[in-house]
Structure 1
Amino acid sequence: MNRPPKRILGRRELVDFPAFALREVEAKVDTGAYTSAIHCTNIHIETTAGQPATLVVNLLDPGHESADGCALAFTEFVLRDIRSSNGEVQERYVIRAVVRLYGEDFEAEFSLSDRSDMKYPVLLGRSLLRQGRFIVDVAKRNLSYKTLARAGARRTRR
C-alpha cells in the first residue's frame, strides 16, 4: 500500500480557518495535547423554543481585528472532559472545524476555551497531527506557509 509522505510541521505554524474567514492564525503545535483548541470567550448556550440548542462564542484573536470578538454560532457540538495543560480536568465544548495546512483542508475537533493566558490563540493536538500524517520538527517554524509561498513564487516566475 502506497502511503503519502509525511509532512513536517514546525513547533509553530500559521493556519487558516476557511469557514471563519481567518488566515494566518498563529498556532502552537502540541504533541502532548490530544485535542486541538481555539481561543474563545463568552461561551454559552442559547435556546429557542422548538429549535436545537445553539452554542455561541466570541472568537478572539487580536492579530485579526476583523475577527477579534466576532460571534460564532454552532448547532453541532459536544460537551467533553478535557485535561488542561496544568493537569486539571475541565468540561469544555468541542466543535468540528476545518483547518488548512499545506494548502489542504483537515477537519478536526477543537475545544473552545479562554486561552488569554496563553501566547497562541490556537493549539494543534495529536488527533489532527495523526490525521494529516504530520511529524514535528521543534527546530522549525511556519513550514506550511513557507512551502506554499515558495511554490507560489515559482509559479509566478514561469
Structure 2
Amino acid sequence: MTAKIIVGWREWLSLPELGINKIKAKIDTGARTSCIHALNIEEYERDGEKWVKFIAQPLQDDEHTKIQCDVKVKKMKYVTSSSGQRELRYFIETMLHAGDKSWPIEVTLTSRASMKFRMLLGRTAMENRIVVDPALSHLL
C-alpha cells in the first residue's frame, strides 16, 4: 500500500496539462467534485469529440495572469454548489500534481470569481491518496 499524502486545509497544487503550474486550492472533504475557476468557456468540436477552451486565472487577486486552456470534455452533469445552486458543468480529466505525487482527477469548470480559492479539491480526487489535517496549511 502506498503511503498517503498529508495535506492541510489549503495547499498549492498544479495542473500541468492545463499549463497551470501553481494554484491555491481549498481542500474540501465536504465536496464530492473538484472544480477550477474558468472564464469564457467555449465548446467546440474536434475530430468528432466535444472540447472546451477557457481562460484560467489561477491566482486570486491577479486578473493579469491568464492561461488559455483547451481540453476534451469528459461529460456534462448538473452539480449542486454549497449554496444550493444547480449548475450544468463541463467535466474534464487532467493530471494533478500534489507535492511529488501525480494522478488523474476529474475537475468541473465554473466561475469562482467571488470565492477565495481558485480551486476546490473534492473528496473523489483525494480518495485513497490524501489525509487532511485541518489544523495545518501549505504542507506541499
- Quickly name the TM-score band, shorter chain normalised: 0.7 to 0.9
AA at the equivalent of 1:68: T
- Report the CA distance between 1:17 and its aligned residue: 1.4
AA at the equivalent of 1:140: L
Q: Structure 1: where are the runs of 5+ without partners? A: 145-158
Q: Which protein has the larger Cα radius of gyration, Structure 1 or Structure 2?
A: 1
Q: Distance in 1 between matches of 2:32 and 2:39?
A: 21
AA at the equivalent of 1:31: T
| Aligned with 2:35 (options 34, 37, 47) | 37
Aligned residues: 139
CA contact (8 A) 1:55 1:77 kept: no
- Report the CA distance between 1:63 and its aligned residue: 5.6
Which residue of structure 2 aligns with residue 70 of structure 1? 67
The runs of at least 4 consecutive aligned structure 1 residues that moved more than 6 Å come to: none
Which residue of structure 2 aligns with residue 147 of structure 1? none
AA at the equivalent of 1:42: N
The alignment yields a C-alpha RMSD, in angstroms, of 2.1
- Report the CA distance between 1:40 and its aligned residue: 0.4
After TM superposition, the score normalised by the length of structure 1 is 0.78
| Aligned with 1:101 (options 90, 98, 103) | 98
Identity %: 27
Q: Structure 2: where are the runs of 5+ without partners? A: none
Q: Distance in 2 between matches of 1:71 and 1:24?
A: 15
Bigger fraction of residues in strand: 2
1:123 maps onto 2:138 in alignment? no
The 5-angstrom pairing of residues 5-154 of structure 1 reads: 5-47=3-45, 51-62=48-59, 68-132=65-129, 134-144=130-140
Name the SS for the 2:105 alignment partner: strand
Which of structures 1 and 2 has the larger relative contact order (alpha carbons within 8 angstroms, sep 6+)?
2
- Report the CA distance between 1:23 and its aligned residue: 2.3
Q: Distance in 2 between matches of 1:20 and 1:6?
A: 25
AA at the equivalent of 1:81: Y
Further displaced range: 77-86 or 33-42: 77-86
Q: Distance in 2 between matches of 1:24 and 1:69?
A: 12
After TM superposition, the score normalised by the length of structure 2 is 0.88
Q: Distance in 2 between matches of 1:47 and 1:7?
A: 38
